[in-house]
Amino acid sequence: MNGLEIYRALSELARRYQFRNREEVCCYGLTVSQCYALEALSREGILATSELAERLGLDLSSTTRIVDQLVRKKLAIRRRGASDARVREIATTDAGRRLVNRLDEDFGHIIAHALDGVPAPVIKALPGIVRRLISALSPGGAMPCGCFTTDARAEGTKPD
């Protein structure tokens, strides 16, 4: 498989992942947005509402609504900030952490099933390969369109 085929396959994967309806109920009665929030809280520990909003790419009011839903479901707690009482901090409850672990296991099984028959060395290398691709496509990585940099265009050469 060449770079173009890999790019096309990854683009299709990204489209299918990205264009899921954030409000659609997916797993265990949670919306996609609630899953994202719960996963972020589980990984990061305690986050201010504004930090969670930034990680989710949502405005503060939408994030507050999601947190309200998680609190009602007893998957998260909200409390006054330790250093600033005006700040609301959010953390997962034990039930929230157990649910995230269950989601991780379920998605792990889906991926393992999809990769059934792929040689073990390839599966072992795959997380590192995906991280390298993420790095290459992140700000400061490769130009997303493969274009020359501004300086290289002026010189008429490709960047090193």
pLDDT by residue, tens only, the chain of 160 residues: 578 888 888 888 877 776 665 565 577 889 888 999 999 999 998 999 999 999 998 999 999 999 999 999 999 999 887 777 777 899 999 999 999 999 989 988 988 999 999 999 999 999 999 898 888 877 766 555 555 344 444 444 444 4
- What pLDDT score was predicted for residue 2? 79
152: its two tokens: 């290289």
Residue 85 lies in a domain: yes
Residue 39 lies in a domain: yes
DSSP 15-45: HHHHTS-TTSB-STT-BHHHHHHHHHHHHHS
Residue 109 lies in a domain: no
Q: 57, 111 in Cβ contact below 8 A? A: no
- Count the Cβ atoms, other than its own, within 10 Å of residue 58: 18
- What pLDDT score was predicted for residue 154? 45
- What pLDDT score was predicted for residue 46? 92
CATH number of the domain to which 18 belongs:
1.10.10.10
pTM confidence score: 0.70
For the chain, what is the domain count?
Answer: 1
Distance CA 79, CA 5 (A): 48
Residue 34 lies in a domain: yes
Residue 61 lies in a domain: yes
Radius of gyration of the chain measured on its C-alpha atoms? 20
Question: Taking the C-alpha atoms of 139, 140, 141 and 143 in order, what is their torsion angle to the nearest 10 degrees?
Answer: 80
Q: Which domain holds residue 65?
A: 3-94
- What pLDDT score was predicted for residue 81? 73
Residue 147 lies in a domain: no
Residue 56 lies in a domain: yes
Residue 158 lies in a domain: no
60: its two tokens: 């503060």
- What pLDDT score was predicted for residue 142? 57
Within 13 Å of residue 44, how many CA atoms lie on the same side as its CB?
A: 18
